[in-house]
Amino acid sequence: MSDRRVVITGMGIVSPVGNDLVTFWDNLSHGRSGIGPVTLFDTAQYDCRIGGETKNFEAKQYFREPKDARRADRYIQLAVAASKMALEDSGLDVGKIDVTRFGVMVGSGIGGLETLENNHTQLITKNPSRVSPFTIPMMISNMASGMISMEFGLQGPNMSIVTACATANNNIGEAWRMIKFGDADGFICGGAEAAILPMGYAGFGNMRALSTRNDEPERASRPFDKGRDGFVMGEGAGVVIIEEMEHAKARGATIYCELAGYGVSADAYHLSAPHPQGEGASRCMAMALKHAKLNASQVGYVNAHATSTPMGDICETRAIKNTFGAHAKDGLLVSSTKSMTGHMLGAAGGAELIASVLAMRNSLIPPTINVEDQDPECDLDVCPNVAREAKFTAALSNSFGFGGHNASVLIKAV
């Protein structure tokens, strides 16, 4: 791998706790939950009736042509919106760069589920002619990347990796790898998801993955707490602009930090459960450290995958302890922003990388809220309930997905 360095120059967010960087960070840093009763569909027949919905989102304002917004599934709309925000934040003038060397990698773990549901209903209740001709391009998981490239005229490498809840980190990490190898100078990369839908809730609910703390939505997502009973579904998009460092400097870009490491591994263990000892996750984090040429003790913060599931949080704790050794119990700060956003699935890694960048920039660790009785098997400093002031120069963000997919990204100060 070459010595080309990669930096983050722009960020865009649509989430349950805010649709811009300022609101997103203000809510995270003050421990405000974005979880509430689901309003996107009637949940009366469902065991779980709460979620982290995006609020006040108007898709058409992010597209050049209103018809393009109408021809996009909700997950694509969220992806385009976050990408436009990230480009604006970066100050990048697409007209002044070589667009053949600027790519897009924005993925989705589930894709256009709303489009599939709606058109399957048309097929079953009416007839095949009532299925929209836009069904396939609206539902396929690569189309967010495709539409983003068309919206902004970017002709570099364009693809979409699908690895469930590790999706955003894999897209960011593989974009990083392509810049390192010299195949591109920059990328729009991250993830988007919009699965707060009947099929999403029936599927996850029937496998007993979702919290059913319906009477206390803001307290339902509680990573590392003994009372956790499953994750809370979230939706949104988290997208970053990454560039080769000299490319960014040449255009006078503001640089947030360096994207310095990326780790990827497989558990090869179970359809949905993590490895009990977190072996794959530990190897993944170790690889990110190796790429970044950092010792474990140099990392000050881990934004944990920690989804608020009974086994998942314990397995990740074991993985962190195995990776960081004594530093895991003496100096390393950990938190799960999913306690406030819910689990944004394929978008989670993008949102949590942004949270990690803002945490490092503001010398403030966002809390893990709802930790009322910390599980003794999750014996890390998880910054319970209140943000923690802390200066640090390197942070790691974890994402682990069904199928045993593990992906970690590491940032450090420039």
- Give the model's pLDDT for residue 2: 73
Which residues lie below 8 Å from residue 89, measured CB to CB, with a gap of 6+? Answer: 10, 11, 12, 21, 241
Least confident of 51-55, 64-68, 80-84, 164-168: 64-68
Q: What tens digit of pLDDT does each residue of 112-148 get? A: 999 999 999 999 999 999 999 999 999 999 999 999 9
Query: How much is the pTM?
Result: 0.97
| Whether pLDDT at 1 is above 60 | no
Residues found in the chain: 414
Q: Does 48 participate in catalysis according to the annotation?
A: no
Q: What is the DSSP string of 100-111?
A: GGEEEEEE-SS-
Which residues lie below 8 Å from residue 206, measured CB to CB, with a gap of 6+? Answer: none
Average pLDDT (291-304) is 98
Q: What tens digit of pLDDT does each residue of 227-248 get? A: 999 999 999 999 999 999 999 9
- How is residue 193 written in tokens? 């998801």
Q: Does 275 participate in catalysis according to the annotation?
A: no
Catalytic residue from among 305, 315, 378, 405? 305
- How is residue 98 written in tokens? 């070589």
CB 18 within 8 A of CB 82: no
Catalytic residue from among 247, 275, 291, 343? 343
Average pLDDT (147-164) is 98
Q: Look up residue 265 and give its amino acid.
A: S
- d(Cα 172, Cα 169) in Å, to the nearest integer? 5
Task: List for the chain the helix, strand, coil content (%; round to 5).
Answer: 40, 20, 40
What superfamily would CATH give domain 6-250? Thiolase/Chalcone synthase (3.40.47.10)
CB 231 within 8 A of CB 209: yes
- d(Cα 314, Cα 222) in Å, to the nearest integer? 13
Q: What is the DSSP string of 141-204?
A: TTHHHHHHHHHHT--S-B-----GGGHHHHHHHHHHHHHHTTS-SEEEEEEEE---SHHHHHHH
Question: Partners of 105 in the beta sheet?
Answer: 189
Distances (CA, A) of 109 to 87, 104, 219, 283: 23, 16, 26, 22
Report residue 346's pLDDT band, with 50, 70 and 90 as the boundaries.
very high
Average pLDDT (349-366) is 98
Q: Which fold has domain 262-412?
A: Peroxisomal Thiolase; Chain A, domain 1 (3.40.47)
Beta strands in 5-65 (DSSP E): 6-14, 36-37, 50-51
| Whether pLDDT at 357 is above 90 | yes
Q: Does 343 participate in catalysis according to the annotation?
A: yes
Q: Please state, for a pLDDT cut of 90, what percent of the chain lies above it.
A: 98
Average pLDDT (91-102) is 97
Distances (CA, A) of 170 to 37, 159, 161, 228, 264: 31, 11, 7, 27, 8
Residue with tokens 């791998």: 1
Residues of the chain with CATH 3.40.47.10: 6-250, 262-412
- Give the model's pLDDT for residue 293: 97
